[in-house]
Amino acid sequence: MTAARMSRARRFARCLKAVALCTLATICAPSEAAREQSIRFGDIDAVVWTPDVNSDKPLPVVVFSHGLYTCATQSRFITEALADSGYFVVAPNHHDASCAMTFGRFGFSRLPGKLSMLWTDEDYRDRADDIRDLVAALRDDARFRNVADVTRLALAGHSLGGYTVLGLAGAWPKWTLPGVKAVLALAPYSLPFQQSEGLRHLKAPVMYQAGQFDPVFTGPMHGAFDQSPQPKYFVEIQYAWHLAWSDVGGLHSRSIIAYATAFLDRYLKGTTDNPLLDDNQQTHATVALPRQGIDAATAQPAL
Residue 5 predicted with pLDDT over 50? no
Residue 143 lies in a domain: yes
Give Cβ neighbours of residue 138 (< 8 Å, ≥ 6 apart): 41, 61, 90, 144, 148, 150
Residue 47 lies in a domain: yes
Residue 95 lies in a domain: yes
- Please count the structural domains in the chain: 1
Residue 16 lies in a domain: no
Instruction: Give the tens place of pLDDT for each residue, 106-116.
Output: 444 455 568 88
**SS3 assignment for 214-278:** CHHHHHHHHHHHHHCCCCEEEEEECCCCHHHHCCCCCCCHHHHHHHHHHHHHHHHHCCCCCCCCC
Residue 241 lies in a domain: yes
State the Cα angle at 262 between 221 and 177, rounded to 5°.
Answer: 60
Which CATH number do you get for residue 117?
A: 3.40.50.1820
124, 164 Cβ separation under 8 angstroms: yes
Of 24 and 32, more confident = 32
Separation between Cα atoms, residue 234 and residue 243, nearest integer Å: 18
Residue 20 lies in a domain: no
The pLDDT value given to residue 182: 98
Residue 127 lies in a domain: yes
Domain that holds residue 91: 31-287
pTM of this structure: 0.81
Residue 122 lies in a domain: yes
Indicate the pLDDT class of residue 18, thresholds 50, 70 and 90: very low
Residue 164 predicted with pLDDT over 60? yes
- The mean predicted confidence, pLDDT, of the chain is 82
